Amino acid sequence: MSDIVRVKTGIPGIDTMLCGGVPEQSQMLITGGPGAGKTLLTFNILYNVAKAGTNAAFITFDEQPAAVIRNAKQTFSALPDIDALIADKKIIVDGTASALRITTEATDTMYSFGNIVSDLEGIIKSNDAKVVVIDSISLLKLMLGNPFMYYKSMLALVSNLKRIGVTSFLTTELQSTERKNLRFSPEYFIFDGILAMYQSEAEERRVLTMEIIKMRGSDHSLALAPYEITPQGFRIFTVEQ
């Protein structure tokens, strides 16, 4: 499948697992338990994409934009130009308006969701972003409540992201941090790709691992890969390396 145009995450292990990167204009779900590093992973990807010359947008529902930037800078202390990329609008971090809609307009959920989608599109177009993070869609699930309504809304969201031609990474929570208890909701399979992040205990320490569950239209690794979060970014230990 060498003719596939791919977006490189800039994280060598993940690009290796994805046989060169995420197929362009795919919508990928990043799922894992609390503490797995989903938000940091997606920020690391956007940083790498922006450094390579592609505009990117990080849309946050769970945290204030300033908190996302602060946490990224503290964790990735060896990446000194985060502020410069944001100042140059190579990366925009936004989402406050959408988060307010979720918390204040819950009486008419479909109306609110339509406005949220409009907010997202406005943010993406504000710097012509081609790679987008939405962190996290778990809050949307709480807002919409009804599982069927949530499924329809996720289908609409993914369709809209495809329509505007972006490659996106959307985060969500797994109910369990361990792979042996893995359970997927039906709506997960709306997405083109799924990357799952796990935490397990081994010899009284926490072990972090990830795997590619699926990547539509592309080959991918079937291996479970340990990873660590370093000041230089994520480091993935793959069989293929």
pLDDT at 210 over 90: yes
- Concatenated DSSP letters of the chain: -TT--EE--S-HHHHHHTTSSEETT-EEEEEE-TTS-HHHHHHHHHHHHHHTT--EEEEESSS-HHHHHHHHHHHTTT-TTHHHHHHTTSEEEE-HHHHHHHHH-TTSHHHHHHHHHHHHHHHHHHTT-SEEEEE-THHHHHHH-SHHHHHHHHHHHHHHHHHTT-EEEEEEE-S-SSGGG----GGGGGSSEEEEEEEEEETTEEEEEEEEEEETTS------EEEEEETTEEEE--TT-
Q: pLDDT class for 179, splitting at 50, 70, 90? A: low
What pLDDT, on a 0 to 100 scale, did the predictor assign at position 12? Answer: 92
Over range 128-155, report the average pLDDT. 87
pLDDT at 197 over 80: yes
What pLDDT, on a 0 to 100 scale, did the predictor assign at position 131? Answer: 98
Over range 221-228, report the average pLDDT. 94
Tell me the average pLDDT of the chain: 88
pLDDT at 112 over 70: yes
pLDDT at 233 over 80: yes
105 versus 155: the higher-pLDDT residue is 155
What pLDDT, on a 0 to 100 scale, did the predictor assign at position 181? Answer: 58
What pLDDT, on a 0 to 100 scale, did the predictor assign at position 238? Answer: 86
What pLDDT, on a 0 to 100 scale, did the predictor assign at position 200? Answer: 80
pLDDT at 107 over 90: no
Complete domains list, the chain, with CATH: 27-196 (3.40.50.300)
Q: 55-73: per-residue pLDDT in tens?
A: 999 999 888 999 999 999 9
pLDDT at 10 over 60: yes
pLDDT at 106 over 70: no
